[in-house]
Amino acid sequence: MILTDLKDKLAFNRYYDEPAVAQVARIQKIKQQFGADLLIVAHHYQKDEVMQFADARGDSLKLAQIAAANQQAKTIVFCGVHFMAETADILTSDQQQVILPDPMAGCSMADMANSFQLTQAWSLLTSQFDDDILPITYVNSTAAIKSFVGDHGGVVVTSSNAKKIVSWALQRAKRLLFLPDQHLGRNTALALGLTPANIGLWQARANRLQATNPAALRVILWDGYCSVHQQFKVAQIAALRAQYPEIKVIVHPECAHEVVAAADEVGSTAAIIDYVQQAPRGARIAIGTDNNLVGRLIKQYPEKQLMFLNPFSCSCILMNRIDLPHLAWALDQLASGQPGNVITVNPEIASGAKKALDRMLSLS
Ligand code: 13P
Ligand code: SF4
């Protein structure tokens, strides 16, 4: 069963009428009953009501590594977004199943590149640049995009290994097509010493390359972005620095380059957590990433002066679709022998995508 039909949705609504304590108790009981056959993993952006049940938590890279390494769990319940669950399905064996508690938990950035657009872009770019171009996709992409990339000799990156892998790729190809996040691509290329003249922008809806001097291009960025990280601005950093001259600012690399340049540090969700953990008592730090993670860090380290870079920013509504009622529903379905929202990637697509993911894992 996939929880997208109206009839199923209406039946599901009773989970919102049930007291949370009853769902907590049932989830604990089902977890105990399944033991090592069931693994619940959660991304750092998940809410505390879900996080409390996670056997493992991580950034996208760690969660992919966990899926690839785990052979014991027959079921992995993935508390994150759709591309993460797809990645886990591709990296696990056919004897294991991956469940996403709410299939509507997508990623708006991943949806900014589809195979039709990529095929068109590829045909135009390879004819313009004589085939010497390698595709690289951020893990925040559909399995179909990963498959295209894998079948064309390319590789997946995450926010924590992008610098290493893009540097590797630049030694192998004259040009890279980096999709779908223009900001991670630009931040990575500039951190590796490329100049703005080496970076072009592929305008996917117009099917057009924007570049001042195409001959100088090393990295062509797809024009996707994350709507959550678009909410961080240089003016917010400047205002905090004026108020607290000693403040340190750390942001996720999905933020625009001018924001990253104005910050003190940039890193994946795991790197942000490490930075906060290692900061001395009393350190004042503003954090530019999803609110659920920042809020949890603020609660976890009351002895440090942690704050939201943008206190009015919206959390990722897609990550937030996974909540206690959806997790309880997913485990109830599993316990009843009728698992719902099982994410199964078409084997042909999975085979291409696995090539790109395996390259990433071996380079990480
Ligand atoms: P991380 O891999 O850094 O956890 O990022 C995932 C993501 O979707 C951030 O928006
Ligand atoms: Fe996608 Fe942005 Fe949400 Fe991350 S925060 S899952 S990139 S929409």
Output the DSSP codes for 21-81.
HHHHHHHHHHHHHHGGGEEEEEETTS-HHHHTT-SEEE-HHHHHHHHHH--S-SEEEEES-
Specify whether 176 is located in the same domain as 189.
Answer: yes
Q: Are 209 and 142 in a shared domain?
A: yes
**Is residue 142 within 8 Å of residue 180, measured between CB atoms?**
no
Q: Which of 45, 19, 92 is nearest to 325 (CA)?
A: 19
Q: Which amino acid is at 11?
A: A
Number of domains in the chain: 3
pLDDT (tens digit per residue) in 77-115 = 999 999 999 999 999 999 999 999 999 999 999 999 999
Residue 224 tokens, joined: 């996707």
Pocket (CB within 6 angstroms of ligand 2): 81, 107-109, 140, 226, 228, 254, 290, 316, 318-319
Q: Are residues 145 and 204 in the same domain?
A: yes
Q: How far is the CA of 229 from the centre of ligand 2 (A)?
A: 8
Token output for 206: 């117009």
φ/ψ (deg, to 5) at 221: -95, 135
Q: Over 70: is that where the pLDDT of 7 sits?
A: no
pLDDT band at 10 (very low <50, low <70, confident <90, very high): confident
Tell whether 269 is covered by a domain: yes
Asked if residue 5 has pLDDT above 80, the reply is no
Same domain, 278 and 172: no
Residue 171: inside a domain? yes
Q: Give the annotated binding-site residues for [4Fe-4S] cluster.
A: 107, 226, 316
Place of tokens 């599993």: 334
215 and 115 assigned to the same domain: yes
Same domain assignment for residues 200 and 135: yes
- One domain, residues 118 and 53: no
Query: Which pLDDT belongs to residue 13?
Result: 87
What pLDDT does 320 receive?
97
Q: Which residues contact 354 (CB under 8 A, 6 or more apart)?
A: 90, 91, 150
Residue 1 pLDDT: 65
Average of per-residue pLDDT across 332-361? 97
Same domain, 90 and 130: no
Ligand 1 center from residue 140 Cα (angstroms): 8
Spacing, Cα 281 to ligand 2 middle (Å): 31
Average pLDDT over residues 245-271: 98
Range 6-11 average pLDDT: 72
Answer whether residue 350 is part of any domain: no
Please tell me the distance from the alpha carbon of residue 133 to that of residue 149, in angstroms, as a whole number.
11
- At 343 the pLDDT is 97
Paired with 97 in beta bridges are: 75
Q: What is the mean pLDDT of the chain?
A: 96
Give the domain-ending residue among 179, 205, 226.
226
- Distance from the CA of 216 to the center of ligand 2, in angstroms? 31
pLDDT band at 221 (very low <50, low <70, confident <90, very high): very high
- Return the DSSP state at 196: G
- Residue 132 confidence (pLDDT): 86
Same structural domain, 262 and 199: no
pLDDT at 3 over 70: no
- pLDDT confidence of 4, banded at 50, 70, 90? low
Residue 363 domain flag: no
Going by pLDDT thresholds of 50, 70 and 90, the confidence category of residue 8 is: confident
| 90 lies in the same domain as 125 | no
pLDDT value of residue 11: 77
Contact (Cβ atoms closer than 8 angstroms) between residue 218 and residue 194: yes
Q: Is residue 168 part of a domain?
A: yes
CATH number for position 54: 3.40.50.10800
Residues 26 and 101 in one domain: yes
361 falls within a domain: no
Binding site membership of 181 for ligand 1 (Cβ less than 6 Å): no
Does the residue 324 lie in any domain? yes
For helices 324-335 and 20-34, give the axis angle rounded to 10 degrees: 40
Is residue 134 assigned to a domain?
yes
DSSP 217: -
pLDDT digits (tens, 9 = 90+) for 116-152: 999 999 999 999 987 789 999 999 999 999 999 999 9
Of the listed ligands, the closest to the CA of 110 is 2
DSSP reduced 3-state for 349? helix
Q: How confident is the model at residue 9 (pLDDT cuts 50, 70, 90)?
A: confident
Nearest CA to 51 out of 60, 42, 59 is that of: 42
Q: Among residues 207, 226, 245, which one ends one of the domains?
A: 226
Instruction: Write out pLDDT tens, residues 309-329.
Output: 999 999 999 999 999 999 999
On the CB side of 109, CA atoms within 13 Å amount to 27
Instruction: State the residue for tokens 């199943």.
Output: 97
User: Alpha-carbon distance 163 to 189, whole Å?
Assistant: 8
pLDDT of residue 12: 84
Same domain, 270 and 208: no
28-51 tens-digit pLDDT: 999 999 999 999 999 999 999 999
List the domain range (segments joined by +) for residue 288.
Answer: 229-308
